[in-house]
Structure 1
Amino acid sequence: MKYIEEHKILELKQRIPVEIGNRIRIFREKKKLSQTELAMMIGKDRQYLYKIEKGKVTSSIFTISVIACALDISLAELIGEIKV
């Protein structure tokens, strides 16, 4: 069995939310949506979406899936290029 080193876990914990947030912002801007518009589409407030895009919160896979759905992209398309 392979154990993941603590420093790797901490690095992922810091990096992954930021990368997901950046990709959400990129797709949101491609769709010409404001944070407020996307937040309304997913039933969240703009401030929460801002925190997701800045990587300040770690969202559940469910919330990330709802955002992908609202952006009319697959979950794989949203997170597919993020390396672990």
Structure 2
Amino acid sequence: MWRDATSYTHGGEPVGTLGHGVNYFFCQENLGRRETYGTWSNVWWARTDDDNGHRDVYVSVVYVKGGNNDEPLPGLPEC
């Protein structure tokens, strides 16, 4: 993660934060919601546990190093 990001439930409710730095992700999926930051934009979301203790939440892959706009992250399996 190259910056802090809001974590969301599968339904899109914001619940916490995932801090920048090294984090782990279980898988990724296209949730149909677009996240944009500057020139980066993506509809893929990575499932993880956030820094506030919420389990199985999602953060946009926009904030994960690697990958291209509107494409899944290379090497991370689909959920």
Q: Higher strand fraction: Structure 1 or Structure 2?
A: 2
Q: Which has the higher helix share?
A: 1
Structure having the higher Rg: 1
TM-score past 0.5 threshold: no
